[in-house]
Chains A and B, each alone.
Chain A
Amino acid sequence: QVQLQQSGPGLVKPSETLSLTCTVSGYSIIDGYYWGWIRQPPGKGLEWIGSMFHRGSTLYNPSLKSRVSLSIDTSKNQFSLKVTSVTAADTAVYYCGRDRYSYDSGGSPMGNWFDPWGQGTLVTVSS
């Protein structure tokens, strides 16, 4: 059974960097999926942030790309998210997820859906 366990601070100061890690159990992170992040501001809908393949290929939401960094540590079977220069607008529940992918008509990878998801981490940006 695939399980994703998130870790990281729940409080980040404005202008600082948000960092979260997702540890995967029951599945090898190098075995054929992208691994990604989604967030949900309080009382609002879901927003895809970005996804990464273990060989380094990344997919980003353009709205966040300039501030987002993704990484994977295959030795620990985990992947991570960093968001720089955070503001109150970055306050949200952040989820990690296994991202099923396919290829578009041009042969480029495209993320499909997330299954399963991590438990979620509420990150509050406040001084």
Chain B
Amino acid sequence: IVLTQSPGTLSLSPGERATLSCRASQSVSSNYLVWYQQKPGQAPRLLIYGASSRATGIPDRFSGSGSGTDFTLTISRLEPEDFAMYYCQQYGSSPRTFGQGTKLEIK
């Protein structure tokens, strides 16, 4: 399954709402989709699993939604530490695949 993330880069200001998209080339079984956050020089961190469940310790300003082929990560009010790369990954079909990422940058 090919995952296409959009936009490639998103420029927003702290306090604004961010909406990141992940579109799959075919339906993702059982909404088996996760989101990761990656900051420069760091490993990815799990944010969302099962399309909409927040991982342990993730603030509630992060939320995931979607089903089938269209998924969304929403950050309700951006904090300075939220500016990073975001990747989606599906695990409904083998091999697991990742999207190419969305860079969330400060405007």
Contact = CB atoms under 8 A, between A and B. Distances in A.
Interface of A: 44-48, 59, 61-63, 95, 110-120
A113 B45 CA distance: 11
Contact of B43 (A110, A111, A117): A117
A45 B96 contact: no
Q: Is the interface of A mostly helix, strand, loop or mixed?
A: strand
Nearest to A50: B95
A110 B100 CA distance: 22
Q: Is the interface of B mostly helix, strand, loop or mixed?
A: loop
A45 B91 contact: no
Given A95-B43, A111-B91, A45 B49 contact: no
B83 interface: no
Contact of B95 (A48, A113, A115): A48
Contacts of A111: 91, 96
Nearest to A65: B95
Contacts of A112: 32, 34, 49, 91
A53 B45 CA distance: 22
B96 A48 contact: yes
Given A46-B89, A48-B96, A113 B43 contact: no
Contacts of A45: 87, 98-101
A63 B96 CA distance: 12
A120 B98 contact: no
Nearest to B33: A113
18 contacts: A45-B87, A45-B99, A45-B100, A47-B98, A48-B95, A48-B98, A61-B95, A62-B95, A95-B44, A112-B34, A113-B89, A114-B44, A114-B46, A115-B45, A115-B46, A117-B45, A119-B43, A120-B43
Interface string B32-67: 101000000011111001000001000000000000
Given A46-B44, A95-B43, A119-B43, A110 B101 contact: no
